[in-house]
Amino acid sequence: MQQPDDLSLPSTEQQLAKLTDDATGLGRETVDIGGFLHDLDMRCQAQIQGLDHIKRNTGDLASTSTQMLDAVQRMAAAADDALERVRTSTALLTETGERSQSLAEWVRSVHAQGPEVEEMLRAVQVSNSEISDISWQVKLLAVNAKIEAARAGQAGKGFSIVADAVNELSQKTSTAADTISNTVKKLSEWMGELHRGAEATSKSAEAVLSRSADADSALTNIQSRVAELQGDAHELTGAAGRAKQAVDNVAPAVQKIADSVTEVAEGVDQASTRCDNLVDRSESILQSAVALGGNGQDSTMITLVQDLAGRICEAFETALRSGRISLDQLFSTDYRPVPGSNPEQVVTPFTKLTDEVLPPVQEPVLELDARIVFCAAVDRNGYLPTHNMKFGQRQGDDPVWNAANCRNRRIFDDRVGLKAGRNQDPFLLQVYRRDMGGGVFVMMKDLSAPIAVQGRHWGGLRLAYKF
């Protein structure tokens, strides 16, 4: 029995439409994965930079810890030397204190014996005075004897000789008594000064002796503190050594992590590149499917962007014919920065023309479909001279606001922008993530069609819309 035809098989048109939709979906998923890989790569690069910073800081920390260890070791050695010096000084001061105490005791004994010595000197002076008086009386007696001997004549001659000898002895005794008296007087004056000096010194000695206990206590305290400093210094030396060892151990670990993250980043970068290649493949599949007659969900948009690109070509051709602009001006790449713009904006010889002819083509498109986000023409280098009015506002003082609302006169030389401007196929459908700020991304389609003037490729018209 003949089997009937299987009417359930899809037609070629349906298969192509499904292939078109699948290629678009593949592009979306690939771009999403590529975006994730890009974000991951950015995080890896940030981690690598952070690890580089950590490695530099670790190197600085290792150098600093080495210097600190050297300094602490020197401090410990200095503490050892200081303690030894303090101990030596303490012993010397203790010995000096003992000698000072002995000297003070001697000074006090001298001061105590001063009155006794003065009393003895006064007794000597009194006795010497009596000797002087006796000498004077002997002298008078000798004179009288001399007179009586003269009266006696020859019989008293021997007595006269004795009287002369007694007189001479009296004079010598008187002279000696005067000398002793003068000496005793000087000695008494010196002893008075010595007594007063001893009295002052005794008072100072009393002060020294009264503070010697405080000095001993202070010296003992100093020695104790220096001993504590010595102990702390040696303990700090050990801690600094352990810290240096820890820092030395950190450096290889950080390097190992850095090598691992670098390896991951390289892998992510390669995966990201392969994703970009996969996006190109999916776009190529989509182009081929549409060329074979595939009628996917983007066919209406493709027809729209091609029609709009054609209208822009006609507007440029008309401007050339009327002499409003020359061909060299229309294709000029003389991008002149707008002073004070942030982000930087540039103008070219054709910017004034695009401001006049592009809005009538681009602006009405935004009302055709709620999914459409923008419609704008770019030249071969991604330069977007005239944007939709909502994205072409005048710049203000806030560069963040400017970046979101003043996107005209900007060069978008990213992957999507450059491919849209340089594509010369009938159309190019790209999928990309649009950064909405705050880490939020929206998947978008960027559909473009080439713009050619007098057979020369000028750029492309970009039509961006949501899925």
How confident is the model over 167-186, as pLDDT tens digits?
Answer: 777 777 777 767 777 777 77
The yes-or-no verdict on residue 118 having pLDDT over 80 is no
CATH of domain 60-251: 1.10.287.950
Cβ count within 10 A of residue 236:
19
Q: Which residues on neighbouring strands pair with residue 453, listed in sequence order?
A: 456
Q: Which of 91, 52, 366, 86 is nearest to 228 (CA)?
A: 86
Percent of the chain with pLDDT over 90: 31
* Average pLDDT for 248-254: 73
Spell out where 33-158 has E strands: none
Domain ranges of the chain: 60-251, 295-466
- pTM of this prediction? 0.55
* Average pLDDT for 444-467: 94
- Average pLDDT of the chain to the nearest whole number: 79
The yes-or-no verdict on residue 5 having pLDDT over 60 is no
295-466, CATH topology level: Beta-Lactamase (3.30.450)
Position 258 scores a pLDDT of: 67
The yes-or-no verdict on residue 446 having pLDDT over 70 is yes
Question: What's the CA gap between 244 and 138, in Å, rounded?
Answer: 105
Confidence category of residue 128, pLDDT binned at 50, 70, 90: low
pLDDT digit string (tens) for 81-111?
A: 777 777 787 776 677 666 666 766 776 676 6
Q: Which of 278, 277, 302 is nearest to 290 (CA)?
A: 302
Phi, psi of 199 (to 5 degrees): -65, -45
Cβ count within 10 A of residue 342:
15
